[in-house]
Amino acid sequence: MQLILRILKVRFEVSAKDVYLDSRFVEDLGIDIFDLPDLILALEEAFEVDISMTAAARILTVRDALRSVARG
């Protein structure tokens, strides 16, 4: 979770106090829908995993991101 928080803070200027497991990237954290591919790429690089297009489409919350990188 810490690494995801760091990515959100550095790349998207999201405050850690606003991030919860069920926080939605677009609706709750204010990440532009066009920045979601950048988020997926950042997750892949940080966790050294490949996230399929199908899995990426299901990443809507912080919890979803954690599940995807854990499966990686």
| 32 classed as catalytic | yes
Q: CATH no. for residue 66?
A: 1.10.1200.10
pTM score, two decimals? 0.93
Overall number of domains in the chain: 1
Nearest CA-CA partner of 10 in 33, 51, 39, 45: 39
Q: Out of 22, 28, 32, 64, pick the active-site residue.
A: 32
pLDDT tens by residue, 15-62? 999 999 999 999 999 999 999 999 999 999 999 999 999 999 999 999
Cβ within 8 Å of residue 5, ≥6 positions away: 16, 19
Domain that holds residue 13: 2-71
